[in-house]
Amino acid sequence: MKLNFNKYQGAGNDFIMINNRESVYEFDSKSVQFLCDRRFGIGADGLILLENSEQSQVDFKMKYYNADGYESTMCGNGGRCIVAFAKKLGLIKESCVFEAIDGLHEAYFEKDLVLLKMSDVGEIKQTEDFFYLNTGSPHHIVFVDDISEIDIKKKGADIRYSSAYESQNGTNVNFIQKKGNQLLIRTYERGVEDETLACGTGVTATAIASFINYENLRKPIEVKAVGGDLSVDFNMKNTQTFEDIWLKGPAEFVFKGEIEC
């Protein structure tokens, strides 16, 4: 079949966007793997279907697949990119509400940037070596002195496949370096099984863990990913509960095309 697609990126985290409001397309894991393949397909960290939601007062539904071909949990950058895609399709104007795997999300534009409301965070594990929390997707966070020295693919995979995360289908892994008031991040993404240039749920988890870890961080928290800058604002109810969490950053159209698949 011939498939029309649009390609978007948010801070270098890139996605194939497909308008599936007519429910024409159904993808098995092999087709998603092929489309996301950077040599044989279009190339992307993930594939996103924009579908109709059955809920009232909701503009659309987001279905997210990782590049490994399997549907996964929430994608923050993908969420911001699908909002830009919905605007390009003329479905929304300056704001919207959409349905994703972890519930409803509000979003709006501030000039070219997209602000996305993330799910509340209700449980945070803190040890001497790491933080672990779920911001729609699971994130393990390690603070290091110099992120440029880390072998992200190797160290990330060691943690992602460790017995601690076996029963929950693994985790994403983030390495953070604090430089003044700025946080530098590099992320190993589950389902891509490699470093990606940015991860929205990872940046959100990092901002929250860093706010607990360091006493003097000012909000909104600025996070510098390899592919671009994002910022996170939130309300801390107590050390275990964060709400009103907003992820802000770029979401850009790259190109569109047609592919036989």
Ligand X SMILES: N[C@@H](CCC[C@H](N)C(=O)O)C(=O)O
Task: Tell me which residues touch ligand X (CB under 6 A).
Answer: 13, 66, 72-73, 75-78, 137, 172, 189-191, 199-201
DSSP 121: B
76 is in an annotated binding site: yes
169 is in an annotated binding site: no
201 is in an annotated binding site: yes
172 is in an annotated binding site: yes
Nearer residue to ligand X within complex by CB, 6 or 66 = 66
The nearest distance, CB 149 to ligand X, in angstroms, is 24
Beta strand residue intervals within the chain, DSSP E: 2-10, 13-19, 46-51, 60-66, 95-100, 103-110, 113-118, 124-126, 131-134, 138-143, 172-179, 182-189, 194-196, 221-225, 228-238, 241-250, 252-260
Nearer residue to ligand X within complex by CB, 102 or 146 = 102
Among residues 239, 230, 164, the alpha carbon closest in space to that of 203 is found at 230
CB-side exposure of 181: number of CA atoms within 13 Å?
8
Nearer residue to ligand X within complex by CB, 102 or 243 = 102
Contact between 13 and 223 under an 8 Å Cβ cutoff? The reply is no
134 is in an annotated binding site: no
Dist CA 93 CA 87 (whole Å):
6
Contact between 156 and 188 under an 8 Å Cβ cutoff? The reply is yes
Query: What DSSP assignment string belongs to 194-234?
Result: EEES--HHHHHHHHHHHHHH-TTPPSSEEEEETTEEEEEEE
Tell me which residues are annotated as active site. Answer: 75, 199
13 is in an annotated binding site: yes
Nearer residue to ligand X within complex by CB, 54 or 160 = 160
Beta bridge partner(s), residue 7: 16, 255
Nearer residue to ligand X within complex by CB, 72 or 238 = 72
The nearest distance, CB 145 to ligand X, in angstroms, is 25
Dist CA 165 CA 34 (whole Å):
27
The nearest distance, CB 64 to ligand X, in angstroms, is 7
The nearest distance, CB 172 to ligand X, in angstroms, is 5
Q: Where is the binding site for substrate, in residues? A: 13, 66, 76-77, 172, 189-190, 200-201
